[in-house]
Amino acid sequence: MSTTTTWLDLPDDTGYGLNNLPLGVFSSHPGAAPRTGVAVGPWVLDLAAATGDPVHATGTLNDHLAQGPAAWARLRSRLIEWFTDPAHREAVAPHLVPRAEVTMHLPVTVGDYVDFYSSQHHAENIGAMFRPGSPPLTPNWKHLPIGYHGRSGTVAVSGTPVVRPNGQRKEPSDTAPTFGPSRRLDIEAEVGFVVGAPSQLGTAVPVGAFAEHVFGVCLVNDWSSRDLQSWEYVPLGPFLGKSFLTSISPWVVPLAALQVARVDPPAREPALLPYLDDAARWGLDINLEVRLNGEVVSRPPFASMYWTPAQQLAHMTVNGASIRTGDLFASGTVSGPERGQRGSFIELSWGGTEPLTLNDGSTRSFLQDGDEVTITATAPGTGGGRISFGEVTGGIVPAR
Amino acid sequence: MSTTTTWLDLPDDTGYGLNNLPLGVFSSHPGAAPRTGVAVGPWVLDLAAATGDPVHATGTLNDHLAQGPAAWARLRSRLIEWFTDPAHREAVAPHLVPRAEVTMHLPVTVGDYVDFYSSQHHAENIGAMFRPGSPPLTPNWKHLPIGYHGRSGTVAVSGTPVVRPNGQRKEPSDTAPTFGPSRRLDIEAEVGFVVGAPSQLGTAVPVGAFAEHVFGVCLVNDWSSRDLQSWEYVPLGPFLGKSFLTSISPWVVPLAALQVARVDPPAREPALLPYLDDAARWGLDINLEVRLNGEVVSRPPFASMYWTPAQQLAHMTVNGASIRTGDLFASGTVSGPERGQRGSFIELSWGGTEPLTLNDGSTRSFLQDGDEVTITATAPGTGGGRISFGEVTGGIVPAR
């Protein structure tokens, strides 16, 4: 909880105290126009109504995000003042809506979606399974944060049904590929970064300018079909194995809420090229939890990531590629060194050879129709307590 | 030329007769609001003014494209009626602007950009150079049209300067990567397909529904840095080696103009899975020309492509991925079987080992600062003559 005094009646463990204040897009009843809200305790503050600013009534965070870091800071200061000074209670309180009653929408209009591959533990696990006999890390892995573009048009808000994808699958014993529903449907538990302020084409964003461009953080489930992926991905990378759906949490936690969550990333060896030097310390102590049908199956630690989001942004733009408001880049699967910290089922079940045993005694390697996966996360908040990232969830429905 | 009679005074070899009628976004003078136009002969017809329909005044083709194929056909019929019946001359002629005087803009707001790899000749050439000692085609190549997502935010209109990208390069003799300007800056001469009507998430677009979703065709130069690409692309595919810029031609040629350009694609062996069966015959007899500083260096034949755009669309959506108005997918480098038909300098110079000799006696393997590359194309048009795709051009400026 935050130690800041507030006239709001906030539970101690709310996760949505004045030290969090994530932004999202909600509608208060069916048919209502989606608008920007801020989560505080069990409520959503209707920012369009409370501020009267049309920038918050557009149905996407992009318009506010495009205003840049000074505007983000002004809004945050204003919210804290409103919630701490009882003089504002009368004006503000009528615009609080119970969070349990609202419908959440995709928070941003996504420009480009980039997915990195920045957990050494994950990369080593996947490399060992996908390229047996080769070193698990490719020679470039410790020199640059490997990433690729994903499909921005299929980034959807938490709760969107996950239709099991069809596609080409080829088992090692098959002489030719077959077509049908994926048999190895998986998750990737990730953390995503939402770009606010754009950059100019032809100009790199230095690693130190991370917080001038990135507004905040959400949770990402990069649903993955391992059988489609393994057949298609050489030589140009993952495509249909990933593009059917990427789910994100509806609340975007501002970087401003994560100052006390910043930690040193792991030691890097060999030394980095100067443009990737990250004295700025943008490792983040975010603890994820992955639940399958309500049961915790993994607790991936984001602090273990080899590459930080500041390095990812610097790398992504060092060739002059521009970023736009609403661009989303994700960390790649977060996997820690322990089995119970792996962020995907292919790792948790070691490619299906070591199925998980669930509480009801059943076993599971990949996702079945009807399964529901929910990822949650928390981080230390200013003033004590932990702030919540909410959740990203999705249920599997049969292939069409 | 078109045999259709028109009151317009069109040169025989215009390339922009009534059998073409490509759409683009133009402004008639600096500061004027960009709006939709149609190229006809040496003019642009201002569609916003001529139709009075605000859908053509938004500065992007997306709004008209989203109206779907019936609306595209109605507009096309109306334009042909206007240009053939002299009764319309008085109302229409005042809205014709000399094409040489307008500024062209990016025609569509690009949703997702996907780049395929559908020329067998190109894939075999690149495979032989990038993976010496392995079969040039990966085992999946003849079973599916390999593709990957590119960066939609750096798709720009023809004429945008090409800033030489910086990045990590590692020569085989280097013990570690170095950082600096790309030394192997290249082109990829491609043909792009612009999506008009969207599809639903979770639902595949059948190969036969190509023309219900795709509005038209443009030229694409997928600028490529071969040194950045070769170091980064294993295991997740091209990223910074491509993302700095993709240039497209400003005029989008409707599929309706390409009916007589349709040809059978090459015979495919092994047989295709049913979802890729393409009885619809969407091979296209488009002849490309690549000029370096005005000199023709290659004439790639699009009719030689192994995979058709209808197959690419069917594959791209077979996993349930949705398409949006403005999505762009490109063919991949178009290379024919002959040396003079290769669509990239890495192929034309065979990785720099066989530099091109230019007319002035100089040699060239990759692009130098100050170079300008222009890609043009034509196809057979209804009624005889050839229709023009205009051009996509770009000049190289030094790294920043």
pLDDT in tens, A232-260: 999 999 999 999 999 999 999 999 999 99
Say what the pLDDT of residue B362 is. Answer: 93
Q: Please give the Cα distance from B243 to A359 (Å, whole number).
A: 46
Contacts 24+ apart (CB under 8 A), A76-79: A76/A21, A76/A254, A76/A256, A78/A51, A79/A18, A79/A21, A79/A38, A79/A40, A79/A45
pLDDT digit string, tens, across residues A277-289:
987 799 999 999 9
Q: Please give the Cα distance from A106 to A323 (Å, whole number).
A: 19
Chain A's closest residue to B177, CA to CA, is: A143
Q: Any idea what DSSP says for residue B341?
A: G
A87 shares contact with chain B (CB less than 8 Å): no
B149: chain A residues, CB-CB within 8 Å: 148-151, 239, 243
A216 against A131, higher pLDDT: A216
Residue A399, amino acid: A
What distance in Å separates residue B248's CA from the closest CA in chain A?
Answer: 16
Contacts 24+ apart (CB under 8 A), B7-14: B7/B83, B7/B84, B7/B86, B7/B89, B8/B40, B8/B41, B8/B43, B8/B83, B9/B41, B10/B40, B10/B41, B11/B41, B11/B42, B12/B385, B13/B385, B14/B41, B14/B42, B14/B388
Q: Do A149 and B149 touch (CB under 8 A)?
A: yes
Is the alpha carbon torsion for A78, A79, A80, A84 positive or negative? positive
**Mean predicted confidence (pLDDT) in A117-125:** 97
For chain B, what's the residue count? 400
B323: chain A residues, CB-CB within 8 Å: 153
Say what the pLDDT of residue A1 is. Answer: 42
Q: Which of A56, A121, A122, A315 is catalytic?
A: A122
Mark which residues 25-84 of B lie under 8 Å from A by CB: none
Q: How confident is the model at residue A131 (pLDDT cuts 50, 70, 90)?
A: confident
pLDDT digit string, tens, across residues B193-249:
999 999 999 999 999 999 999 999 999 999 999 999 999 999 999 999 999 999 999
Q: Which residues pair with A288 in a beta bridge?
A: A377
Alpha carbon of A6 to those of A46, A83, A303, A378: distances in Å?
18, 6, 31, 22
> What is the average pLDDT value for chain B, to the nearest integer?
96
Tokens 């108005």 sit at which residue?
Answer: B325
Burial class (CB in 10 A: 0-12, 13-18, 19+), B208: middle
A95 a catalytic residue: no
**Mean predicted confidence (pLDDT) in B170-179:** 94
Q: Which of B122, B149, B213, B315 is catalytic?
A: B122
Pairing, β B283-284 against β A356-357: unpaired
**Mean predicted confidence (pLDDT) in A138-153:** 98
Q: Please give the Cα distance from B146 to B315 (Å, whole number).
A: 9
B131 shares contact with chain A (CB less than 8 Å): yes
pLDDT digit string, tens, across residues B303-333:
999 999 999 999 999 999 999 999 999 999 9
Q: How confident is the model at residue B2 (pLDDT cuts 50, 70, 90)?
A: very low
Helix or strand run (H / E) with residue B46: strand B43-46
Nearest by CB to A167, which of B112, B168, B318?
B318
Residue A3 has pLDDT above 60, yes or no: no
Chain A's closest residue to B166, CA to CA, is: A319
Pairing, β A246-248 against β A155-157: parallel
Q: What is the DSSP string of B205-227?
A: --GGGHHHHEEEEEEEE--EEHH
Q: Please give the Cα distance from A187 to B233 (Å, whole number).
A: 23
Q: Please give the Cα distance from B38 to B49 (Å, whole number).
A: 12
Residue A4 has pLDDT above 70, yes or no: no
Q: Do A400 and B202 touch (CB under 8 A)?
A: yes
B136 shares contact with chain A (CB less than 8 Å): no
B274: chain A residues, CB-CB within 8 Å: 179
Residue B1 has pLDDT above 50, yes or no: no
- What does residue A90 show for φ and ψ, rounded to 5 degrees? -60, -35
For residue A177, how many other CB atoms are within 10 A of its CB?
20
A333 shares contact with chain B (CB less than 8 Å): no
Q: Lowest-pLDDT range, A135-149, A293-307, A378-392, B268-282?
A: B268-282
Among the listed residues B86, B87, B78, B84, the one whose alpha carbon sits nearest the alpha carbon of residue B56: B78
Chain B's closest residue to A156, CA to CA, is: B201
B313 shares contact with chain A (CB less than 8 Å): no
Residue B4 has pLDDT above 90, yes or no: no
Look up the pTM and report it.
Answer: 0.97
Q: Please give the Cα distance from B323 to B212 (Å, whole number).
A: 12
Q: Please give the Cα distance from B290 to B126 (Å, whole number).
A: 19
**Mean predicted confidence (pLDDT) in B358-381:** 97
